[in-house]
Chains A and B, each alone.
Chain A
Amino acid sequence: MKSHRRRRLTIIIFLFVGSLTTVLISIFALQNYIDHFYLPDQIVNGEVPLERKIRAGGMVKPGSVIHDSTGLGVQFDITDLNDVTFRVHYEGILPPLFREGQGTIVAGTLSEDGVFSARRVFAKHDEEYVPPELKGMQEHDDP
């Protein structure tokens, strides 16, 4: 083989092996680090794995937010439009946009007693903007 041919072949093999490795590593990482997102009815119906990192979302049920008497612990209910609810427990400062009756997304784990321990709470940024996850919920529940 001519030298530049051999050179080109090396480059092609190198590129091929390199991109294959990248793709495999990425997919492996994705498998490990993906969070699944669930809506209230899925949580209540037991379609959700317990004690695994997940995300869940819905509306904060009005009147359900209870702060502990000491410390930063807080509990609230997340509900969908059919009034299916689950309880969330969170330790820490709630984001400024967190409000009763508004959409929220929580990240954490669901325990056996059906209470969601949130590691983080996200509130939406803008009234005009609804996270695509929650928009799905509204459409879903429209008659």
Chain B
Amino acid sequence: MIPELGHFSAFLGLMSAVGIALFGIFGANQNRSSWVDMSIRLTKVQVAVLALSFLLLILAFLDDDFSVLYVANNSNTALPWYYKVSGVWGAHEGSFLLWTLVTAVWTVLVATRARHIPLKLHGYVLGTLGVLSFMFLAFLIFSSNPFERLVPNVPIQGADLNPVLQDIGQIIHPPMLYIGYVGFGVTFAFGIAALVTGKIDSAWARWVRPWVNVAWLFLTIGIVLGSWWAYYELGWGGWWFWDPVENASFMPWLAGTALIHSLAATEKRGAFKNWTILLTLLTFTLVLMGAFLVRSGVLSSVHAFAVDPQRGLILLTIFVLVAGGSLVLYAFRAHSLNTQVQYWGVSRELLLLINNALLVIAVFTILLGTLYPLGHEWFVGGTERLSVGEPYFNAMFVPIMLLLSFALAIAPISRWKHTPKKLVVNALILLGGSAVVALLLPWILADGVHLGVSCAVALAIWIFVTHAIACYRQRKALTLGFIGMSVAHVGFAIAVIGVAVTSVYTESKDARLKIGESLEVSGTKYELVEVQPTEAQNYIGERARFDFDVQRSLFPERRYYSIREHITYEAAIAPGIFKDRYITFAGPMENDTWGVEIQDKPFQRWIWFGAVVAGLAALIAMLDKRYRRLSQRNLETKYSE
């Protein structure tokens, strides 16, 4: 009964989506506030019924109701309760139910928190979100029903959750990611509404910016969590693999970053209006493309869900409808938004333009590398198959990011319209100073100079310095917006240092060790002291003890999950500000030896720390008082002046 109720709730959600879309769009079109109010009310109904549906699926997991196919495939009585709950979003159907719930939450937030924006805009935004919600829910109910029954042959035991997913990372990484993804659906809706109403001004940009920031914050955190999780869970210490599915999350992130910057120019100077709108559309299009790539099984990836051609086709249809429809609308309406804005020399507008060009180029090169193997298979065919690996992405992406760092360092001292030459020259002198420091540092600390790392570190130091100086100069009139920008850029610089140093200076050694033997990595001796058997509800394994330095130990494990006959390496990590020590234990080999890999990874944490700092900066900028809600009338008088 419970699963049927859950299914029915989802269906009610679909019905509310129809209402939200129709009342929103026609309410806006006919200028009827009662209809838009109806749409607002329905968003509350929708979020309630979808939350109920989601809770009922959680209940089915907690109850070990294996008559539900999805529960039987992804849970087991031996699973601890928190993994039963997170098992709900451990595979395709349940995770998509979460996706639709997240959409409903965003929709209700836009409905209730954005009442101050003009009726027409509000109606069209809600209408667009209703249409998106309708498509997602139709896909869920008609081709990915998580409540499908497995009768009459109800299994007495479930197939267990994939052991790799039995982790805190799985509990929080997908929800964060989905909140970020769907958040860009909100900015997409604002973009569509602006095209339909034909009105885009400073006020519009000001209304959109907080939403973009929140979406971007969650997507950033989601990606960082994914990277951190892969780092400790997959057992070989990589933090980014340029895997197609990672790329699928990274492309909207880059486009979203471009959007944040383009919106700044649109708000402050009324510049790049067309381009900003295009970015709102592009970002969400990339989100949908990612969903298609991940959930259709067309790509070879460690993340991909099980293959189902029918689902792939439906998702492709949704993608084509949304991308095609919005681009056609854009083609017809965008020219009406055009404006002329004057700027010359090194102006802030120019820097934002460079930022956007570089980010979009980055998206393009990643897109090309991700889709090239697919395109080759489809258009060239034959037995020949290709894959595009890390070297391609690194070769393309790293130079783009270094160029971006250059523009970013000048950003805080730049001015709108035109920056006096003196300021630019001063900034370049600072670059020279930073370069000297970056070349001297490795000489003092390490054996030799690595040109690439010095380059990256020089740019990072330069970014620190210019932002510090700019904040100091403006200390009397600092806005949260400016602080947010500076903190975000400093976060970026921290991550740049982390990426450069850890990529170049990581040292890794593997060996077969007997008890009592040791392995020396980067000047530290790691001794294998003992190996003990270990056990839990659903796995057995071995736990090794390594001693290093004075009185420090690490305990990596190898586990065998019997239900799925699945082995995992649980790496042991000693994290630190300046280096991570990372031990992988591969279990027994012949002649009483044990397989071991030990890595010394300097500045590893800086990557995630920098990204989290940048994410939080989005929150700081959002709190700027100019985003506090102004009543519509106040705004109208303000802009008519």
Contacts and interface: CB of A to CB of B under 8 A. Distances in A.
Q: Is chain B a partner of chain A in the same complex? A: yes
A70 B596 CA distance: 13
A35 B586 contact: no
B361 A22 contact: yes
Contacts of A95: 235-236
Contact of A127 (B564, B569, B586): B564
A72 B511 contact: yes
A22 B365 contact: yes
B641 interface: no
Contact of A69 (B306, B564, B590): B590
B443 interface: no
A35 B369 CA distance: 12
A129 B383 contact: no
Interface in B546-567: 558, 564-567
Interface residues of B, number: 51
Contact of A36 (B340, B385, B590, B591): B385
B302 interface: yes
A40 B526 CA distance: 40
A62 to B, nearest CB: 14
B307 interface: yes
Given A71-B512, A130-B307, A33 B391 contact: yes
Interface stretch (B277-285, B292-300, B406-414): B292-300
Contacts of A94: 586
B386 interface: yes
Interface string B349-368: 00000000100010011001
Interface in B387-406: 387-389, 391-392, 395-396
A37 B389 CA distance: 12
Contacts of B368: 26, 30
B364 A133 contact: no
Nearest to A21: B361
Contacts of B386: 34-37
A29 B399 CA distance: 13
Interface string B504-516: 0000001110000
Contacts of B164: 125
B584 interface: yes
A49 interface: no
Contacts of A52: none
Contacts of A70: 512
A16 to B, nearest CB: 13
B305 interface: yes
Contact of A96 (B306, B383, B392, B568): B568
A92 interface: yes
Contacts of B369: 26, 30
A96 B385 contact: no
Contacts of B584: 93
A26 B595 contact: no
Given A34-B386, A35-B387, A129-B304, A29 B595 contact: no
Contact of B385 (A18, A33, A136): A136
A97 B567 contact: yes
Interface in B561-591: 564-569, 584, 586, 589-591
Given A34-B386, A67-B590, A97-B566, A132 B372 contact: no
A4 B364 CA distance: 29
B148 interface: no
A107 B389 CA distance: 10
A97 B590 CA distance: 19
A39 B298 contact: no
Interface string A8-36: 00000000001000100110011011111
A87 interface: no
Contacts of A138: none
A54 to B, nearest CB: 10
18 contacts: A4-B340, A22-B361, A26-B396, A29-B365, A29-B392, A33-B389, A35-B389, A36-B386, A67-B590, A72-B512, A92-B597, A93-B586, A97-B567, A107-B389, A125-B302, A129-B305, A130-B307, A140-B383
Interface of A: 4, 18, 22, 25-26, 29-30, 32-39, 42, 55, 67, 69-72, 92-97, 99, 107, 125-133, 135-136, 140
Given A37-B384, A55-B387, A127-B564, 17 more contacts: A22-B365, A26-B365, A32-B395, A33-B388, A33-B389, A34-B387, A35-B388, A36-B385, A39-B383, A72-B595, A93-B597, A94-B586, A96-B569, A97-B567, A99-B565, A128-B306, A132-B297
Closest 7 CB pairs of A and B: A33-B392, A37-B385, A128-B306, A96-B567, A33-B391, A131-B300, A93-B586
